[in-house]
Amino acid sequence: MTQRDEVRLKALIPSAGADEGRLLKSLLENATIVSSEKIPINTVTMNSRIRLKDLESGHELEVDLLFPHNVNENKDALSILSHNGIALLGLSEGESVNWTEPSGNERRLKVLSVVWQPEAEGLFQF
């Protein structure tokens, strides 16, 4: 996780729901923190666009991992203050994650690629 993301995510904990706040706090406590310039380009950071594949159905989807105030502007947006958003942050291409649908059904998704990452574009303040 980048140092910048760590600072901004710590500030979100008080506004998160109890469960999401606990998960986000745990993520932050266990994360390896690096400068934005040193984060690998295949790692999911905030504001990244990620292509995922459902390991059971083979269906692919793309999502943007965003801060809550940006979610309404993007139909493919996923808030970092959701279980799925928290689970994606820090993953690298090839890693898998448990994904909970709005219906409550669980799926296993694989990160196929980090399609776009601000740090890879030199956008360290994004």
Q: Which pTM was predicted?
A: 0.92
Contact 88, 43 (CB under 8 A): no
- Residue by residue, pLDDT tens for the chain (126 residues) are 999 999 999 999 999 989 999 999 999 999 999 999 999 999 999 999 999 999 999 999 999 999 998 998 778 899 999 999 999 999 999 999 999 988 889 999 999 999 999 999 988 777
CB atoms within 10 A of CB 73: 9
CA pair distance 58, 26, nearest whole angstrom:
31
| Residue extents of the structural domains in the chain | 3-119
CA pair distance 48, 70, nearest whole angstrom:
13
Topology of domain 3-119 in CATH is Chitinase A; domain 3 (3.10.50)
